[in-house]
Amino acid sequence: MASAQDGSAAAHVLLVPLPAQGHMNPMLQFGRRLAYHGLRPTLVATRYVLSTSPPPGDPFRVAAFSDGFDAGGMASCPDPVEYCRRLEAVGSETLAWVIDAEARAGRAPSVLVYDPHMAWVPRVARAAGVPTAAFLSQPCAVDAIYGEVWAGRVPLPMEDGGDLRRRGVLSVDLATADLPPFVAAPELYPKYLDVSIRQFEDLLDADDVFVNSFDDLEPMEAEHMESTWRAKTVGPTLPSFFLDDGRLPANKNHGIDIFTGDAPCMEWLDKQAPCSVVLASYGTVYSLDGAELEELGNGLCNSGKPFLWVVRSSEAHKLSEELRGKCKEKGLVVSWCPQLEVLKHKATGCFLTHCGWNSTMEAIATAVPMVAMPQSADQLTIAKYVETAWEIGVRTRLDEKGFVTKEEVEISIKKVMDGKRAAEYKRNAAKWMQKAKEAAQEAAYMESTWRAKTIGPSLPSFYLDDGRLRSNTAYGFNLFRSTVPCMEWLDKQPPRSVVLVSYGTISTFDVAKLEELGNGLCNSGKPFLWVVRSNEEHKLSVQLRKKCEKRGLIVPFCPQLEVLAHKATGCFLSHCGWNSTLEAIVNGVPLVAMPHWADQLTISKYMESSWGMGVRVQLDKSGSLQREEVERCIREVMDGDRKEDYRRNAARLMNKAKESMQEGGSSDKNIAEFAAKYLK
357: pLDDT confidence band, cut at 50, 70 and 90?
Answer: confident
More confident call, 84 vs 638:
638
Give the pLDDT score at 444. 41
More confident call, 526 vs 532:
526
Give the pLDDT score at 399. 86
Residue 392: φ, ψ to 5°: -115, 20
> 50-59, 80-89, 397-406 — which is least confidently predicted?
50-59
Residue among 570, 569, 557, 562 at smallest CA distance from 463 = 562
Q: Where are the domains of the chain?
A: 12-137+202-242, 265-437, 461-661
Superfamily of segment(s) 461-661: Glycogen Phosphorylase B; (3.40.50.2000)
Across 151-236, the runs of DSSP E, i.e. the strands, are 208-211, 231-233
Catalytic site includes residue 378: no
What does the pLDDT look like over 128-156, one tens digit per residue?
999 999 999 887 888 999 999 999 999 99
Count CB neighbours of 272 within 10 A. 19
On the CB side of 561, CA atoms within 13 Å amount to: 18
Average model confidence (pLDDT) across the chain: 81
Using an 8 Å Cβ cutoff, are 31 and 13 in contact? yes
Q: Is the pLDDT of residue 634 over 80?
A: yes
Using DSSP, state whether 172 is helix, strand or coil.
Answer: coil
Q: Is the pLDDT of residue 616 over 80?
A: yes
427: pLDDT confidence band, cut at 50, 70 and 90?
Answer: very high
Q: Is the pLDDT of residue 178 over 80?
A: no
Give the pLDDT score at 246. 55
Using DSSP, state whether 605 is helix, strand or coil.
Answer: helix
Using an 8 Å Cβ cutoff, are 613 and 621 in contact? no
Residue 562: φ, ψ to 5°: -70, -35
What does the pLDDT look like over 518-530, one tens digit per residue?
999 999 999 999 9
- Contacts of residue 106, defined as CB under 8 A and 6 or more positions apart, other chains included, come to none
- Catalytic residue (choose from 115, 143, 178, 668): 115
Residue among 324, 266, 278, 279 at smallest CA distance from 297 = 324
More confident call, 596 vs 629:
629
Give the pLDDT score at 42. 94
* 1.20.1260.10, 3.40.50.2000, 3.30.2020.30, 2.40.50.140: CATH of 12-137+202-242: 3.40.50.2000
Q: Is the pLDDT of residue 395 over 60?
A: yes
What does the pLDDT look like over 463-490, one tens digit per residue?
445 554 544 444 433 334 444 478 889 9
Catalytic site includes residue 23: yes
Give the pLDDT score at 279. 97
Give the pLDDT score at 680. 37
CA distances from 390 to 275, 424, 530 (A): 20, 11, 32
265-437 belongs to which CATH class? alpha beta
The model carries a pTM of 0.53
Does the fold of domain 265-437 match that of domain 12-137+202-242? Answer: yes
Q: Is the pLDDT of residue 543 over 80?
A: yes
Give the pLDDT score at 312. 82
Is residue 369 reached through a cis peptide bond, with omega within 30 degrees of 0 on the bond before it? Answer: no
User: What percentage of the chain reaches a pLDDT higher than 70?
Assistant: 81
